Chains A and B, each alone.
Chain A
Amino acid sequence: MNGIIEASQLRYRYTPKAPPVLDEITLSVPAGSALALLGPNGAGKTTLLDLILGWRSPESGRMMVKSQNPSQLRRSEAGKLMSLAAQSESITFSFPVVDYVLFGRAPHLHQLRPPSRQDRETAMEALRTVNILHLADREVTKLSGGELQLVKIARSIAQQTEILLLDEPTSDLDPGNTVRIMEIMEQQKRLGITQVFTTHDPMIASDIATHTALIRSGKLLFFGPPEQALTSDLLSRLYSTPMSVHHAGPRRIIIRGYG
């Protein structure tokens, strides 16, 4: 088995004396699949994204993206291979949306070269893909949470990478926007783009993911296909709270056991 993303026995800690945030993480993601990272707050999901991105390097173990160590890749190569839609990205300056999406072209350009007309066309195309062409001239600092999420994903799409990293793409979104994001992820999946996303909503994992990693306190509780991962037993252990999985036709309905 040789996936586009291969992690073996990863361990990571923020400072040498702190307990590991991630430990003994081994997983393999085939190209074109969608991996959902599920786990409680602080379990290490975002850190794992950072390790894939190469922004952090493991203390021990090995992370390989397309058979290369992501933190040693040439930056422009890495930027053409992977894009990141971060969960919270505070933006200080009020760029127009289209200019912000244009930033996604950076890895394709020499660092001293401004984007061309063609890059601008790619950015507009990304806006069209995400269906937010009408936002093109709005200021990025004045968008709603849902709009900003779509704009961040548009920037990733304009980056034209093989791998899309999405940190909680649907958190804080209303049901309508959540579905819009899910549709975009489904569409990227059809295009053969590999996606790794974190979420607190197991149903999104159920609907979209081809692979699921359950992470609890930095350790892999389970890694495998959603039909094996998304069970009442595993999810209850993952979140330390009763969870129950029901079936409605082809879909799973996952609810918290409360009261």
Chain B
Amino acid sequence: MVLTAVSLFIGRYPTPGLSSPALLRDDSVFLQVFLQLRMPRVLTAVIAGAVLGAAGCVFQMIFSNPLVEPGFLGVSQGAAFGAALSILFISSAALPVQAVSAVFAMTGLFLSYWLARKFHFGGWILRLVLAGIAVSALFASGVGFLKYAADPVSQLPDITFWLLGSLTGASWSRLISIAPITLISLTILMMFRWRLNILSLQDRSSFSLGARPHLEKLLLLFCATAAAAAVISVTGLVGWVGLIVPHIARRTLGSDARNALPGSMLIGSIYFLVSDTAARTLLTGELPLGIITSAAGAALFIIILSRKGSGEHL
């Protein structure tokens, strides 16, 4: 909360650094910047961080694998493909890019799910993982081709910038466009927070504990992925948030999803907000957000894993 308030007043206008709240009254341009640019942007960062953190936590528990993240099931690469497609053939304006990337993110999810049902190898979870890898690779090569075909002066920089993630396009209308699905999904995930523990066990065990692992996992995966897809369509590919945040949450709060899930949301928000505030204030130009989250994420990952007493289990 404090951080949200403070970051509202950090920026490069009118002077680099922290501004005084009194300016809101005296400077009408600052008021505009505050209300129309910073406010939606900061709120988007809070929601995006919470969604990616929560979705990461849910993914890691459902797949019993601490190395998966929300973009895993073809969602991130699908969104990237959609964004590149829009930039090349429709428009590089914020809304069409968001719409097309959201459509392709969900296409990625359904394609992964459909393929997983077609595969004849391994258990259900393994099939989903393999299908996700295949679909992601397919879309990634599509993105590669679109980048190759893009106009290197006008279109390629847009694609690259989108692929690195940024909140420059954040606005009230875009925030409102993703608010319903993200808030509904987060609520559902939160309602299932103790149940997630049961679902993180092997399917046969959770079945013996009275769960319907396939059905319940599918519901939670769908919620997490839909919310993540909505966020990615606005922010672009902001790497590592969904991967690293649940680790930090579990390390500090324990594995029990009753704590780890809300913890992931909170830490995700903080992580996203701090990274975005850094992205828009460190340099005169806007730094792609993904660069910061990935660099900081990788550094944190190395620190966590090499710390003494980190144990053999994640």
Give bound CA distance, A232 to B162, whole Å: 74
Interface size on B, residues (CB 8 A): 32
B209 touches A94 (CB 8 A): no
Cβ–Cβ contact A103 & B197, under 8 A: yes
Flag whether A144 is at the interface (Cβ < 8 A). no
**At the interface, yes or no: A83 with Cβ under 8 Å from chain B?**
yes
* Contacts of A55-89 to chain B: CB distance below 8 A: 55, 75-80, 82-84, 86, 89
**A residues near B197, Cβ cutoff 8 Å:** 95, 99, 103
**Residues from chain A with Cβ under 8 Å of B161 in the complex:** none
Tell which of B45-53, B167-175, B188-196, B269-277 binds the partner: B188-196
Asked whether, in the complex, the Cβ of B61 is within 8 Å of the Cβ of A55, the reply is no
B123 contacts partner chain A, Cβ-Cβ < 8 Å:
no
B122: interface (CB < 8 Å) = no
* Docked complex Cα distance between A99 and B192 (Å): 16
B208-A89 in contact (CB<8A) = no
Is B313 touching A53 in the complex (CB atoms < 8 A)? no
| Contact assessment for B205 and A84 in the assembled complex, using a CB-CB cutoff below 8 Å | yes
A223 to chain B, nearest CB (A): 24
Residues in chain B near residue A93, CB distance under 8 A: 61, 64, 66, 200, 250, 255, 313-314
| Interchain CB contact under 8 A, B195 and A50 | no
C-alpha gap A226/B275 in the complex (Å):
68
Q: Is B311 an interface residue (CB 8 A)?
A: yes
Question: Would you call A2 an interface residue if the criterion is a C-beta within 8 Å of the partner chain's C-beta atoms?
Answer: no
A78 with B313: CB separation less than 8 A = no
Given contacts A75-B207, A159-B209, contact A86 B195 (CB under 8 A): no
Answer yes or no: B154 CB below 8 A from chain A CBs. Answer: no
Residue of B nearest to A74 (CB): B210
* Interface residue SS majority, chain B: loop
Interface residues of B in 120-137 (CB under 8 A from A): none
Q: Given A111-B195, A114-B258, are A92 and B211 also a contact pair (CB < 8 Å)?
A: no
Is there a chain B Cβ closer than 8 Å to A128's Cβ? no
Q: Does B117 contact A (CB under 8 A)?
A: no
B286 on the interface (CB 8 Å rule)?
Answer: no
Q: Are A106's CB and B209's CB within 8 A? A: yes
Indicate whether A106 sits within 8 Å of B198 (C-beta atoms), given known contacts A79-B209, A83-B208, A93-B250.
yes
Contact A75:B204 (CB < 8 A) given known A93-B255, A95-B256, A114-B258: no
Closest to B212 in A: A75
Which of A80, A112, A165 is within 8 Å of B195, CB to CB?
A112
Chain B residues contacting A50 (CB-CB under 8 Å) are 204
Q: Which residues of B are in contact with A by a Cβ distance under 8 Å?
A: 61, 64-66, 191-195, 197-198, 200-202, 204-205, 207-212, 216, 250, 254-256, 258, 311-314
Query: 17 interchain pairs (CB within 8 A)?
Result: A53-B204, A53-B207, A55-B208, A75-B210, A75-B211, A79-B209, A86-B205, A90-B64, A92-B313, A93-B61, A103-B197, A106-B195, A106-B209, A111-B216, A113-B194, A141-B313, A159-B209
Knowing that A90-B202, A93-B64, A114-B194 touch, tell me 6 more A-B residue pairs with CB under 8 angstroms: A50-B204, A53-B204, A54-B207, A75-B207, A92-B65, A93-B66
Chain A residues packing against B (C-beta within 8 Å):
50, 53-55, 75-80, 82-84, 86, 89-96, 99, 103-104, 106-107, 111-115, 139, 141-142, 159, 165
